[in-house]
Copies of this chain bind each other. A is one copy, B any other.
């Protein structure tokens, strides 16, 4: 091995995630190993538009006893079994030992259905309907973020039985908390650190007060790499979807605006929102098309911990945050073969075989028309 020059598609290496300062071990030479692991049961196909047993369908009763209204499109309600309780909460007791630290946590957990139809997903909504979801995210981020005692709002979606989500009804969640959680706090700290550093000058957009923004700089670099060599999956007027250099999940995607520094979804102008809906739609459609299945993932929106009081950038220190979405999908080789983050990965560091560039090639090659809406050559609809 020592004689041949370094080749990222054949030599094992580690890549650094500058948002977290954590590495991923990449083992591209291992792509051909036979599969000896666990396989997943097939996802249910042919879902009904309404399911009387679904706790998210219009008019149905939830496990907690409440009844959903006969809503038209999007419905938001407080989770009947929220992970946190409303502020204020009791003071923390003194720690029994300095190594046993605890702090109280308060907040609220919301559920939002993306559509009344049980059988749809983000990938199969019209662009207008995706736009409605984005508007709802803006509303809830603003409303929760302004509540007394709330210091962080996390919007996310967890989709698919292999992610522990057994209800296919399209929906997301928003957890609003009294503290900034570990991962976004770490990312924010690294964005601040970068903004105070003196990186090599570039013509990337800049953050508040002209400070360098790690994500503006990174996205700007990626969109400048020739498409066939790079990690970009989809780029439109304002947004880019890419497999990040440091990706952990086989087909992980980072989705973010690249033309200017954008601290939160409330900073998006109408054009940027249209681009956002397009990008969300293309990413989720390509995901479904990859293995012709409803693609499981966890998605999270990272942005300013709370909405800004003004929409001018450089308003306060939190404006160094740059809006981005992480997609963490587990599928690896087919609709039934997934990656597990276990063993060495849980005890040491994440590991992948397929490189980020190889994943981007696969995702770029896919149609932006959903496989269930595309006719096959024999005139039948694609299915399972």
Binding site for B on A (CB under 8 A): 1-2, 4-8, 11-16, 18, 22-23, 25-27, 29-30, 33-34, 36-39, 41, 55, 63, 80-86, 88-93, 96-106, 154, 156-158, 161-167, 173, 175, 177, 179, 181-184, 199-200, 214, 217-218, 221, 225, 245, 298-300, 302, 326, 328, 338-344, 346-349, 351
Contact = CB atoms under 8 A, between A and B. Distances in A.
Contacts of A100: 15, 221, 245
Contact of A166 (B2, B7, B38, B177): B38
A56 to B, nearest CB: 10
B99 A214 contact: yes
A125 B184 CA distance: 44
Given A34-B63, A183-B349, A89 B12 contact: yes
Given A33-B81, A89-B1, A302-B347, A16 B181 contact: no
B326 A102 contact: no
Residue among A99, A175, A179 facing the most chain B CB atoms (10 A cut-off):
A99
A347 B154 contact: yes
A98 B154 contact: no
Contacts of A99: 18, 214, 217-218, 221, 245
A25 B346 contact: no
Contacts of A342: 158, 163-165, 298, 328
